[in-house]
Amino acid sequence: MGMTLFDSPSFANHEGVHAVFDEKTGLRAIIAVHSTARGPAVGGTRMWNYGSSAEALEDVLRLSKGMSYKNAVADLEMGGGKSVIIGDSRTQKTPELFHAFGKAVDTLGGIYYAAEDVGVSVADIAEARKVTPYVLGLSDGPEASGDPSPVTAEGVFRSTLTVARRLWKQDDLTGLTIALQGIGHVGGYLADKLHAAGAKLVMTDVNTALLSEVAARTGAEIVAPDAIYDVKADIYAPCALGATLNPQTLDRLTVKAVVGAANNQLATPDIGHKLFERGVLYAPDYVVNGGGIINVASEMKARQTGGAYDPQWVEGKLSRLMETLEEVLDRSAAEKRPTHEIADAIAEARINAARGHKPDHRKAA
């Protein structure tokens, strides 16, 4: 007996949940629109071989609500949504599948914009673009925002400086040791910035060829993937997987702060409380890594105004995001509450304020 939609704990007052089927291609997808209070719902499309449609539904609802919070905390005029395509991204992708998906997105008339996520590439989004304007994350054309990773890395870097200023009263990273997990798209750019600011790096990755290359140019020490939690460091920077802050790693970490790009770093919210009780400053993941979605938002803005990708606008939003991080840290100290709760409260307040001030366009239509 599966749970029904409205009873699911993940339902969280979603404005709309759209199940999509296409007979010709076999497309099975779910598009979840959590909130359009602040603007069109924006969030990536994940293609994953879910064990059941109930599992796909839970995932899309959870991720969609998360996008509402991430977009609000970055102060973007965007709501939150997400979509999932049920299937194996290695064997079941065709251009026709993404045309069918794009048509489904198009029927929503701009309430939801899709983009890349796990299992969905720039090329797939380019196929969907042939049938709908409501996709983001293109690599060609004047609006295209391209690879978001450098902007994400810049946000993580500035967040690290903010934390260093607060905990060690210094304006650079001289004398600080940072344990960096994952030196992929974001972690690679981040390693260079941290190194240039004077940090001593201890790093790991499962891609050993890439690891020795990045370690060589940043003078870093290399450790085995599982040893990263035991490094005697000042800051832990998770830039690979989610849920690395969990009951198993908590007692191994001796760092004073966690600042990294990975999504969903806390395995459960109570880990955020435990970090707080132990005096570890956790810079909330979706605040720290918001540079990526800011970069994507610039593409939507260009699409809507007929303009081009605007790096100055991106910079303005990124500095505003860093002000929000300062607000999160100030309030956490003043109210003696964990940082992840404060970030959620700020996001909720912004969403609710927009709900109060904007007419419900679905009723108005």
Residue placing its CB nearer to ligand NAD in the complex, 240 or 318:
240
Q: Which is nearer to ligand NAD, 239 or 275 (CB)?
A: 239
245 strand-pairing partners: 266
Is 131 among the residues that bind ligand NAD (CB under 6 A)?
no
CB of residue 205 to ligand NAD, shortest distance in Å: 4
Q: Please report whether residue 187 would count as binding ligand NAD according to CB under 6 A.
A: yes
Instruction: Kindly state the DSSP code that residue 99 receives in the 8-state scheme.
Output: H
**What DSSP string describes 213-275?**
HHHHHHT-EE--GGGGGG---SEEEE-S-S--BSHHHHTT---SEE----S--BSSHHHHHHH
**Which residues, listed in sequence order, are joined to residue 200 by a DSSP beta bridge?**
177
Q: Measure the N-to-C terminal CA separation of the chain; round to a whole number of Å.
A: 37
Report, in Å, the least distance between residue 241 CB and ligand NAD: 5
Count of alpha carbons within 13 Å of 43, Cβ hemisphere only? 31
Active site annotation includes 82: yes
Which tokens is 60 given? 């899309």
159: contact with ligand NAD by CB under 6 A: no
Name the active-site residue from 82, 193, 200, 301. 82
* Among 103, 166, 185, 256, contact with ligand NAD (rule: CB under 6 A): 185
Q: Which of 35, 71, 132, 149 binds ligand NAD (CB under 6 A)?
A: 149
**17 membership: H or E segment, kind and range:** strand 16-21
* Candidate segments 8-16, 166-174, 178-186, 301-309, binder of ligand NAD by CB under 6 A: 178-186
Q: Identify the helix (H) or strand (E) that includes residue 32.
A: strand 28-35
Residues 225-264 that bind ligand NAD (CB under 6 A): 225, 239-242, 261-263
Of 108 and 258, nearer to ligand NAD (C-beta) is 258
In this structure, what token pair is assigned to residue 12?
Answer: 């969280």
Site string for ligand NAD, 16-45 (x = CB under 6 A): ------------------------------
User: How many other CB atoms are there within 10 angstroms of residue 309's CB atom?
Assistant: 18
Catalytic machinery residues: 82
Chain positions contacting ligand NAD, by CB under 6 A: 148-149, 152, 181-187, 204-207, 225, 239-242, 261-263, 289, 292
